[in-house]
A and B are shown apart, each in its own frame.
Chain A
């Protein structure tokens, strides 16, 4: 591209950046994302530095705030860990929100119809299983549309649109067949029986699902992403690496892109479904199906996964960061700004994180035109 006297060329980096350099670029991208939102704070007449300090101090250095951060961390880490798997194979599942919601529906169904008087050690695993299956099933079309070109569909569009039927299904259920008869007309399901409520640490919204999130992160790390001597543990991990970088070469070597696409979206849909189960049956704010379950954590998960470098350990850190930002959002509200400002972080950070991804792989060279 020519700009006056200069010519710009985008080139792929032939040398991989060191770990430190990548981290620096990522941190810079986060700062730029925060700075973009800071402009809005300024427009409202607030000092962004004070506000950000307030947000992060609350989220990480007060007991109440930290607990609130951790409760948001649970669904985020599950969703983002799941998303990182198809993202590595260059399959764009941006519909984790829909898979998350359908997971809450499945869990609610089990809880409401089979939960009364059941053994919690049986019924809760069944709820998780149902949530996993429902989320995975909801994600399945993404793989097929991504790989089978004759359908002329796009993984991005399909995955996003599948959010709406999930959302409307919840609206239908809680205003129709599953409506709480004693709920004074509120659109919500009856309270889940106690046997189906996941154990939460007393007085907090931090429930046992947090261990499921950490376990998922460990499993994905151990089996798929960790490389020793440059070789991943499993064939699946290797095939995801190859197909993600160059599907043509992978298929030429006999790999099946369809198979990998299906496996990766099932993992991500399933984990988003698990996040839904944990949220509806573990977060003491709910224990019932309610419209407020959809807080777009599924979309936030996209930014979380990329900021974490699609690496489970990075994702745990970035989940904590985003969870803190969401939890600390209450401080923004307190300062008199509209609460929806918090939603801006999603978009702003995702944008800069993706730009950073681009610069991690490419570089720009400037030349003067002779």
Chain B
């Protein structure tokens, strides 16, 4: 069958906060045929969404053939005009919360003076045609549940009668029967000859629905499974999932770090049945209970978007917990002020670098951010801060011309070193140990700095600190952590000791499967 979409040698690079260079797409080749479902698999940040977004936002280089025609599409509008329907992953960005369902769909229409009634009618018709449950097109988006929003988003892609349909994580908020309905719909669209790309990290779904599977890792294609291979996977889904999980997470032996055996001590952080909502008001952390002890690194493994960020933000109270308790050194700190929590000896390295540094201030002013409040009264103890910051710069070998150089002038790795130096060197009150929360601390860093940061995390663990590490990098989790808890859809679905598990087992659990072989080692909470 003919290719409806051919992407050759596509590259796209992003520059993140703090001038982190991320090669989201690194010379990717990808084809989609008529009448097939092609799944794109990969960990968070592997470049799946970026790849399909090249269809409505020019890539840096590479060619894109749509139906044999060489195209450079710059806007979602042009993509629609060429028969490409995309249901985006981030609903907060693609749906206008304050508008109604019909008004959101109206944005796709061409021309002037369209009546909203026509669109409303079209929406109702389309809902019946595609077999979706009824939904009043007059309702505002913010009034809808997560699943309903997702259906509106899918409808937006379908209603333009596309020849290429792209669904980015279409099932994350659907219930199992809704997923079944969607899959039946996709099958029928496929038989009409449409090309469908489905992006997912649910391994089972990918195997069941797709004809071909392409696996991405770090912006590159690691494997492209043709029809025959996928058919083989379908025969034994458990085997297939194992195979895919292995491809997704890969093997990485770049860092040779040694985790010295240390006996873990008293409980530092205890979380009791914590529930947290995300920005859209959906409950994304469900009843989580975990403990982190002194001299221990607990890894929280999971595919991004399963509630990790919300959980961490609730611990340091950047976000309210809706129920449950956070207990630090035996004192409840749930929803206490950030300043109170930080003063009790909590350090945080957030993934969002913007929240950890002020680019327009000096290195010294960035380093003192977690220390200045220790001076007494309204004044800052200048001499103590100068001594401390000079020492931090030396000890963490931060490469800066002067402590007064603006943070902006540092390289990406050195910027992160400033944050790590600041957060790891805090000394809580006598008798208590530091709690360090690190969220993807090596994201976007070069090899040397990554190794450095990981070494420092191990050092702080040996000095007695309790570390809660969230990472979507399995290598990081496997090398650093004493224990691993796997979070999936807002719940801890397993907690295992690193020495008694394998990379593949963790990879599978991240996809929502508890492997039978290691069931005995899993203590479900």
Residue of B nearest to A16 (CB): B406
* A238-B342 CB under 8 A given contacts A15-B409, A249-B355: no
| Partner among A228, A234, A238 whose Cβ is within 8 Å of the Cβ of B365 | A238
| B342 with A230: CB separation less than 8 A | no
Question: B367-408: which residues lie under 8 A (CB-CB) from chain A?
Answer: 368-370, 372-373, 375, 378-380, 382, 385-386, 403-404, 406, 408
| B355 with A252: CB separation less than 8 A | yes
In this assembly, does A12 line the interface, its C-beta being within 8 Å of a C-beta of chain B?
yes
Total number of A residues with any Cβ neighbor in B under 8 Å: 28
Contacts of B67 in A (CB 8 A): none
The minimal Cβ–Cβ distance linking B48 to chain A, given in whole angstroms, is 28
In this assembly, does A38 line the interface, its C-beta being within 8 Å of a C-beta of chain B?
no
In this assembly, does B348 line the interface, its C-beta being within 8 Å of a C-beta of chain A?
yes
| A230 with B365: CB separation less than 8 A | yes
> Residues 330-370 of chain B: 1 if any A CB is under 8 Å from the residue's CB, otherwise 0?
00000001111111000010100011111111101100111
In this assembly, does B255 line the interface, its C-beta being within 8 Å of a C-beta of chain A?
no
In this assembly, does A21 line the interface, its C-beta being within 8 Å of a C-beta of chain B?
no
In this assembly, does A336 line the interface, its C-beta being within 8 Å of a C-beta of chain B?
no
The tally of CB-CB contacts under 8 A between chains A and B is 93
The minimal Cβ–Cβ distance linking A85 to chain B, given in whole angstroms, is 15
Total number of B residues with any Cβ neighbor in A under 8 Å: 39
| Partner among B355, B356, B382 whose Cβ is within 8 Å of the Cβ of A229 | B382
| B386 with A253: CB separation less than 8 A | no
The secondary-structure label for the interface of chain A is mixed
* A242-B358 CB under 8 A given contacts A14-B409, A230-B404, A231-B365: yes
> Residues 171-205 of chain A: 1 if any B CB is under 8 Å from the residue's CB, otherwise 0?
00000000000000000000000000000000000
Contacts of A347 in B (CB 8 A): none
Residue of B nearest to A237 (CB): B380
| A235 with B338: CB separation less than 8 A | no
In this assembly, does B452 line the interface, its C-beta being within 8 Å of a C-beta of chain A?
no
In this assembly, does B318 line the interface, its C-beta being within 8 Å of a C-beta of chain A?
yes
In this assembly, does A256 line the interface, its C-beta being within 8 Å of a C-beta of chain B?
yes
| B361 with A254: CB separation less than 8 A | no
Contacts of A232 in B (CB 8 A): 380
A15 to B348 Cα, complex, angstroms: 29
| A242 with B375: CB separation less than 8 A | no
| A231 with B408: CB separation less than 8 A | no
Contacts of B408 in A (CB 8 A): 12, 14
Residue of A nearest to B383 (CB): A229
Contacts of A253 in B (CB 8 A): 338, 342, 369-370
Contacts of B341 in A (CB 8 A): 254
A249 to B415 Cα, complex, angstroms: 14
A196 to B280 Cα, complex, angstroms: 59
The minimal Cβ–Cβ distance linking B107 to chain A, given in whole angstroms, is 23
In this assembly, does A255 line the interface, its C-beta being within 8 Å of a C-beta of chain B?
yes
Task: Identify the A interface with B (CB < 8 A).
Answer: 12, 14-16, 228-236, 238, 241-242, 245-246, 248-256, 361
Task: Identify the B interface with A (CB < 8 A).
Answer: 316, 318, 337-343, 348, 350, 354-362, 364-365, 368-370, 372-373, 375, 378-380, 382, 385-386, 403-404, 406, 408-409
Further pairs besides A12-B408, A253-B338: 16, Cβ < 8 Å: A15-B409, A229-B382, A231-B385, A242-B365, A245-B358, A245-B359, A246-B358, A249-B355, A251-B338, A252-B348, A252-B350, A254-B338, A254-B339, A254-B373, A256-B337, A256-B339
20 A-B pairs, CB-CB below 8 angstroms? A14-B406, A229-B364, A232-B380, A233-B380, A235-B372, A235-B373, A235-B380, A241-B365, A242-B358, A242-B369, A246-B358, A249-B355, A250-B358, A251-B338, A252-B350, A252-B355, A254-B337, A254-B341, A254-B373, A361-B360
